[in-house]
Amino acid sequence: MAKTFSFLFGLCLTAMAGGSAIAAQEAGGPTQWIPADAVLAVEFFQPKALLAPFGDGRSAAAFAALPGAGRQKERPGFEKFMRVVKYLESQLGTDWPTGLAKMTGGGVAFALRPQQKIMLIADAEDGQMLTQLHEFLWKAASGNKSGTVSSQQVDGMTAWSLGPKEAHTIIGKRLVLASGFNELQTTLAFRSQPAGASLAASPAYQAAKRAVGPDAAGMIFVNMAVLKQAPGLAKALQPKDSNPLAALLFAGITESVSASNWLAVGLRVNEKEDTLALQVVTDGAKLDAKGPAAFALPAKREEGALPNLAVLRQIAGLSLYRDLRRFYGAKDQLFPERTSGLIFFENMMGIFFCGRDLTDDVLAHARPEIRLVVANQQYDPAVGTPSPQIPAFALVLQLRDPAQFREIMEEAWQKAIGLASFTRGQKADPGFVIDRPVHWTTKYSVARFSTSGIKDRSKLDMRFNFSPSLAMPGNYLILSSTEQLACDLMDAVGREAKQSSAPLAQTHSLLEAKGDRVAAALLANHDVILRQNILKKGGGDGDAGGIDALITFAGFVEQLRLSLGAESGLNQAKLELKFKWPAQPEPKMARAR
């Protein structure tokens, strides 16, 4: 029982986050009482902003919308927990979101030190309420005969423990909680040593705080210099055999983290627009212009990835700045252990491109702006609907010399389709039929599967998700898994050519996704995913509730945007989530008597 109260006390005080910061207490900010050797620190400067969705009912509505929420409420543990929460609310005279905000309004900091030592410091706006909560939990834990509660003097202050791995004290409006009395002593020693070796005085922490900016609602600080001393992480960050696709997509990220002394995550909340933004910053070296990962480095300051293309039913778009010629030219440095596999790959490409050098005669034709698009399909009723339903995907490049490369690419594409048809024919499977239709003024190539002789078209074979297409309007090259998406992209690049989209300066990667489209794709394949899970588990319900919850949660995310690049000499990643909360029920009107 003592463990329950200890957990509840930690939960009540560590989950607190939100609102506008109040004036610092005489003791200074919470991190001034945390030792500088902290490996990880989580600090909330503005706790109420994070609690806003809980206070206005939006999170409750979101939880109620999750499949299985009713079953969760019926569980004995959940019901018991809610009774305790309701009782605490009655004792404190407030609802729990308001209570948490009042008990953490001055800021909260949580830290993890070496040997798994933890500490938490929270500055309350309402010190009396904080004391009331402590007295209630202490009285409840003391009444349990099997409990391990105790108290003692620590640095001249009375401290209490609700369990073997927890000790806390209250100084004015400040709660100080640690993983034991000894750890609490270390924390309280900073009261008499304001200029001591605290985390707040650490140059690395100060640099990280400046990097995330003064308007951040919170920050996660990781001391990479200390963390890299752990054997497991040090080994993970060592250069090793790399997957070519991973090296292309995540260029320089591992190198930057391994060279960094600190990593910081800034948190921003915009209540009016319902957005949550995370900004990841490291002091690791930027991409070396002469290093193997320089293929992702924009050549000029104003260069970078292009804005994503927009098409109908789009799920996601990924825009990259990658010099493919330079990337493949550095293969011996990027993935030296894959020489044999690359020889086979080059031989295959030699067949498709008539022996041309892959680096200088093929990849050199592509500009570094690369875009990938994923979109849900709209199936033609005259053809039928396949199962499962796989979203369409496409690669869009811009060519340096389209007139010279157009026929080369067309020949390579037709050879690839022919090889695929030949391979399928060896298995007695139907092959592709190639056509050359025209969309507006662009003649493109498409390979389709015939539905001739198929009577039931309600659940066609999976192959009908694909109609590989090649289109080269203007200086663009479009390789698409479906004809429909190829035509949509020809419209999109036509609009872009008229608008002359400016690149995102010094941004080498941009990912954008729409949650409702992700949810639609998952929902269309719900039964297929469920059957696969049942087969993997050898029975059961296939985690239907988890799949439904994932679909519902995806629907709450209206927009996701992730960008990677450099700014002010620091490597940065910015993640922004825009939420679309479920509609709340209208309040019931009181019935007239």
Task: Please determine, for residue 539, whether its predicted confidence score (pLDDT) is greater than 80.
Answer: no
Query: Looking at 103-112, 118-127, 288-297, which range is the least confident one?
Result: 288-297
- The conformation of residue 460, written as its DSSP 8-state character, comes to B
Q: Which amino acid is at 127?
A: G
Query: What pLDDT does residue 49 have?
Result: 74
Are 104 and 123 contacting, i.e. CB atoms less than 8 angstroms apart? yes
Q: Which of 301, 489, 483 is nearest to 395 (CA)?
A: 489
Give the DSSP H or E segment for 421.
Answer: helix 402-426
Which sign does the torsion angle of CA 418, 420, 425, 426 carry?
Answer: positive
The answer for 18, left when phi > 0, alpha when psi is -120 to 50, beta otherwise, is left
Query: 222 or 538: which carries more pLDDT confidence?
Result: 222
- For 176, list phi and psi in degrees, rounded to 5: -125, 120
Q: What gap in Å lies between CA 49 and CA 201, rounded to an integer?
A: 27
Dihedral (C-alpha) 413, 416, 417, 423: value to the nearest 10 degrees? 180
Q: What is the pLDDT of residues 62-100, one digit of tens each?
A: 666 666 555 556 666 777 777 888 888 887 888 877 888
Q: What gap in Å lies between CA 371 and CA 508, rounded to an integer?
A: 11
Secondary structure of 264-309 in HEC code, one letter for each residue: EEEEEEECCCCEEEEEEEECCCCCCCCCCCHHHCCCCCCCCCCCCC
Q: What gap in Å lies between CA 7 and CA 137, rounded to an integer?
A: 11
Q: How many CB atoms lie within 10 A of CB 250?
A: 16
Are 179 and 119 contacting, i.e. CB atoms less than 8 angstroms apart? yes
- Report the chain's C-alpha Rg in angstroms: 29
Map residue 453 onto helix, strand or coil.
Answer: coil
Indicate the pLDDT class of residue 585, thresholds 50, 70 and 90: low
Q: Which amino acid is at 580?
A: K
Cis peptide preceding 388, ω within 30 of 0: yes
Tokens, residue 343 = 């020889």
Give the DSSP H or E segment for 567.
Answer: strand 557-567
Secondary structure of 174-241 in HEC code, one letter for each residue: EEEEECCHHHHHHHHHHHCCCCCCECCCCHHHHHHHHHHCCCCCEEEEEEHHHHCCCHHHHHHCCCCC
Q: What gap in Å lies between CA 534 and CA 529, rounded to an integer?
A: 9
Q: Write out the DSSP string of 493-541.
A: HHHHHHHTPPP-TTEEEEEEE-HHHHHHHHHHTHHHHHHHHHHHHTSS-
Indicate the pLDDT class of residue 147, thresholds 50, 70 and 90: low
Task: Please determine, for residue 435, whether its predicted confidence score (pLDDT) is greater than 90.
Answer: yes
Tokens 């369409």 sit at which residue?
Answer: 392
Indicate the pLDDT class of residue 342, thresholds 50, 70 and 90: confident
Query: What pLDDT does residue 59 have?
Result: 65
Q: Which of 51, 124, 136 is nearest to 92 (CA)?
A: 136
Q: What gap in Å lies between CA 52 and CA 19, rounded to an integer?
A: 8
Q: How many CB atoms lie within 10 A of CB 320?
A: 23
For 377-396, what is the mean pLDDT? 93
Query: What pLDDT does residue 21 have?
Result: 34
- The conformation of residue 230, written as its DSSP 8-state character, comes to S
Q: How many CB atoms lie within 10 A of CB 456?
A: 7
How far the first Cα of the chain sits from its last, in Å, is 48
- Strands 433-435 and 392-399, by their bridges, are unpaired
Q: What is the pLDDT of residues 289-334, one digit of tens each?
A: 888 888 998 888 889 999 999 999 999 999 999 999 999 998 888 8
Indicate the pLDDT class of residue 57, thresholds 50, 70 and 90: low
Mean pLDDT of the chain: 84
Query: 468 or 346: which carries more pLDDT confidence?
Result: 468
Q: Which of 131, 119, 511 is nearest to 307 (CA)?
A: 511
Query: 151 or 140: which carries more pLDDT confidence?
Result: 151
Q: What gap in Å lies between CA 339 and CA 318, rounded to an integer?
A: 29
Q: What gap in Å lies between CA 31 and CA 2, rounded to an integer?
A: 29
Q: What's the whole-model pTM score?
A: 0.83
Q: How many CB atoms lie within 10 A of CB 167?
A: 26
Are 278 and 575 contacting, i.e. CB atoms less than 8 angstroms apart? yes
For 145-172, what is the mean pLDDT? 88
Task: Please determine, for residue 464, whether its predicted confidence score (pLDDT) is greater than 80.
Answer: yes
Q: How many CB atoms lie within 10 A of CB 113?
A: 23
Tokens, residue 101 = 């905000």
- Percentage of the chain lying above the pLDDT 90 cut: 47
Q: What is the pLDDT of residues 123-141, one digit of tens each?
A: 988 888 888 888 888 888 8
Task: Please determine, for residue 517, whether its predicted confidence score (pLDDT) is greater than 70.
Answer: yes
Q: What gap in Å lies between CA 441 and CA 8, rounded to an integer?
A: 68
Long-range CB contact pairs, 428-431, < 8 A, 24+: 430/463
